[in-house]
């Protein structure tokens, strides 16, 4: 009889197998290695980090650009001619890509901490490259279609910077124990030194970042300027079809102090409200006049325009995902809307003691009313019975003919040439406000942006969502108390995570090997990896016939 005695007993390493298996398809112990990662794998790790940072920037951009989703869809519509909500596939692909890259990066960091060799599986390499190329293509496309929107990133940091800083601080502090475990456990190598230097540089940059923060809402409550007036941009287009009577009524019901509309002149000289060059998106012109659906809206007469339905498209396309919140009565009313004339809108504003902001689109040169569009619009203002002092319009031309009316411009002109009211894109508002120029910022649909502009002293904003902004009683900002809580949170995060790191380093041993000279204790968590026969004396003993007793050392 021969007695077996174990040489080595290994504990199961489920977590290590999980990390190396998903990251590099190395599920077995013999497939893993603790050698230094190759240069190519280090390059792939850098590509993975770059993809994560680019996707983080991309995801943050779309998070703050939610304020202008409808503007993006409209820009795409003007290029393609088809109205679709292009933000849905973008948000879905961004969520999937960011989750995938983040998960791989976490696995790579655990590889470094556990001392395992980086070996990204080839399928993941293809996925990382595909995600990186797709994101770069998206950035280039947005820059081409919607380049002005990048400015919102700088504005958003005035509101989100402290919270982003807390998140970044918590992240680098949590990663510190992984970096420390990788650097302290093993002999020094060039890659380890590079990882440590990069971590120190990132840590210093994050700790010094608050020196660059600027937030207009850090002020005494008593120095806060009056609440900005809300202009209903095309009415309340989230609740009803844009540029219709029901939309303007909804805007006034939700506290809008003024109404904004897009004006086009018909072929018979009637000013009517239409944003697009054609009637395809917001009317049923393809059914009523199928051969003229691509014609300029200004080449229709008022009788033809009045025969079109201007509300059913809203119920079918649901551009703001709000149709489900409407009652059956509201849907019925919306479905029967027709093209609205300028006179109807101005009369509504006059009855509500409100003002109006008109964006007038000049007819093309071949239009019959090309030379008389100004008088047609002025006639409509006078017919509506509204005070001319409460009417503002663009473009900023024909100042000598505009008497009693205020004019505005959407162009960023020099301050010396500006007079009266200025409607501008928000990044330039602070410059004009400092020179006593009245500013209306558009579009403003999110409470955080409205709060930032409120603290900046902007007198009015133009919004697609007056029903949302009216619920902001006070600027959403971080005041003095929140600043101190913010500093306290940073200290607590540093202390707690560093204590966790130190305790983790003392108890951590990823490759526990038990050496034993006795029979192993029964356990479901223990696997006998190797066994060795122990003989006494020579390596091989020959027993005489009939002898049944084993050497004493084996008994």
Domain extents for the chain? Answer: 12-146, 154-215+479-505, 229-470
pLDDT at 421 over 80: no
How many angstroms separate the CA atoms of 62 and 163, rounded? 17
Q: Which CATH class is domain 229-470?
A: alpha beta
Name the average pLDDT for the chain: 79
Identify whether the C-beta of residue 219 lies closer than 8 Å to the C-beta of residue 315.
no
Model confidence over 45-103: pLDDT tens digits? 999 999 999 999 999 999 999 999 998 998 889 888 888 888 999 999 999 999 999 99
358 in Cβ contact with 232 (< 8 Å): no
Backbone dihedral region of 267: left (phi > 0), alpha (psi from -120 to 50 degrees) or beta? Answer: alpha
Looking at residue 274, what is its pLDDT? 96
Q: Residues 7-30: pLDDT tens digits?
A: 555 556 777 888 888 888 888 765
- Note the pLDDT tens digit of each residue in 229-248: 999 999 999 999 999 999 99
Strand segments (E) across 452-544: 460-463, 513-515, 526-533
| pLDDT value of residue 511 | 43
Query: What's the pLDDT tens digit per position in 147-192?
Result: 888 888 888 888 888 888 888 888 888 788 777 776 776 566 677 7
Q: Where are the beta strands (DSSP E) in 300-414?
A: 355-361, 391-394, 406-407
Cβ proximity of 426 and 155 under 8 Å = yes
> For residue 31, is pLDDT > 80?
no
The predicted structure's pLDDT at residue 409:
66
Q: Is the pLDDT of residue 289 over 80?
A: yes
Cα–Cα distances in Å, from 544 out to 3, 56, 115, 440, 468?
A: 20, 78, 53, 109, 99
259, β-bridge pairs:
232, 356
What does the pLDDT average to over 306-323? 93
Q: Following DSSP, what letter does each residue of 149-218 receive, concatenated?
A: GGHHHHHHHHHHHHHHHHHHHHHHHHHHHHHHHHHHHS---HHHHHHHHHHHHHHHHHHHGGGG---TT-
Q: How far apart are CA 314 and CA 76, in angstroms?
A: 18
Say if residue 217's pLDDT is above 60: yes
Q: 460-463 and 438-441 as β-strands: parallel, antiparallel, unpaired?
A: parallel
Contacts of 425 (CB under 8 A, 6+ apart): 148, 151, 412, 441, 442
pTM to 2 decimal places: 0.78
What tokens appear for 297 in the block?
Answer: 């809206």
* Res 101: pLDDT: 96
């Amino acid at each position: 009889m021969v007695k077996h005695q174990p040489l080595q007993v290994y504990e199961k390493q489920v977590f290590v197998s999980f990390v190396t298996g998903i990251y590099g398809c190395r599920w077995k112990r013999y497939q893993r290695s603790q050698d230094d990662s190759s240069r190519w794998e280090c390059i792939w790790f850098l590509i993975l980090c770059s993809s994560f940072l680019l996707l983080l920037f991309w995801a943050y951009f779309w998070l703050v650009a939610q304020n202008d989703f409808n503007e993006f869809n409209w820009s795409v519509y003007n290029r393609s001619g088809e109205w679709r909500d292009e933000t849905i596939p973008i948000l879905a692909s961004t969520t999937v890509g960011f989750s995938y890259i983040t998960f791989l990066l976490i696995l790579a960091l655990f590889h470094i901490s556990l001392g395992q060799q980086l070996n990204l599986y080839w399928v993941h390499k293809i996925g990382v490259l595909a995600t990186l190329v797709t994101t770069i293509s998206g950035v280039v496309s947005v820059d081409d279609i919607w380049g002005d929107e990048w400015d919102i990133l700088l504005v958003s940091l005035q509101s989100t910077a402290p919270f982003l800083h807390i998140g970044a601080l918590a992240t680098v502090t949590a990663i510190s124990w992984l970096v420390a475990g990788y650097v302290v456990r093993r002999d020094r190598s060039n890659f380890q030194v590079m990882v440590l230097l990069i971590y120190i540089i990132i840590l210093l940059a994050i700790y010094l970042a608050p020196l660059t923060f600027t937030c207009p809402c850090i002020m005494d409550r008593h120095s806060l300027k009056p609440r900005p007036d809300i202009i209903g941009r095309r009415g309340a287009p989230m609740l009803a079809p844009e540029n219709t009577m029901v939309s303007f009524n909804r805007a006034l019901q939700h506290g809008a102090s003024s109404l904004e509309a897009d004006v086009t002149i018909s072929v018979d000289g009637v000013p009517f409200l239409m944003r697009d060059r054609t009637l395809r998106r917001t009317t049923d012109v393809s059914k009523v006049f199928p051969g003229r659906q691509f014609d300029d809206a200004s080449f229709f007469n008022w009788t033809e325009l009045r025969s079109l339905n201007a509300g059913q498209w809203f119920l079918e396309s649901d551009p703001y995902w709000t149709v489900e919140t409407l009652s059956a009565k509201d849907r019925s009313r919306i479905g029967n809307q027709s093209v609205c004339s300028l006179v109807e809108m101005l009369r509504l504003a006059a009855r509500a003691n409100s003002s109006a902001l008109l964006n007038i689109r000049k007819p093309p040169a071949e239009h019959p009313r090309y030379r008389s569009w100004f008088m047609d619009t002025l006639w409509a203002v006078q017919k509506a019975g509204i005070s001319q002092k409460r009417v503002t319009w663009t473009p900023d031309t024909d100042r000598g003919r505009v008497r009693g009316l205020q004019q505005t411009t959407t162009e960023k002109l020099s301050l010396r040439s500006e007079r009266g009211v200025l409607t501008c894109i928000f990044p330039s508002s602070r410059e004009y406000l400092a020179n006593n120029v009245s500013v209306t910022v558009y579009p403003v649909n999110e409470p955080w942006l409205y709060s930032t502009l409120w603290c900046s002293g902007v007198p009015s904003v133009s919004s697609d969502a007056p029903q949302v902004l009216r619920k902001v009683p006070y600027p959403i900002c971080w005041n003095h108390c929140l600043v101190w809580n913010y500093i306290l949170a940073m200290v607590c995060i540093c202390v707690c995570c560093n204590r966790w790191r130190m305790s983790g380093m003392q108890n951590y041993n990823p490759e526990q090997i038990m050496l034993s000279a006795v029979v192993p204790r029964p356990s479901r968590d223990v696997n006998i990896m190797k066994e060795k026969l122990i003989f006494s004396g020579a390596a091989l003993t020959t027993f005489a016939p009939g002898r049944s007793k084993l050497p004493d050392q084996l008994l």
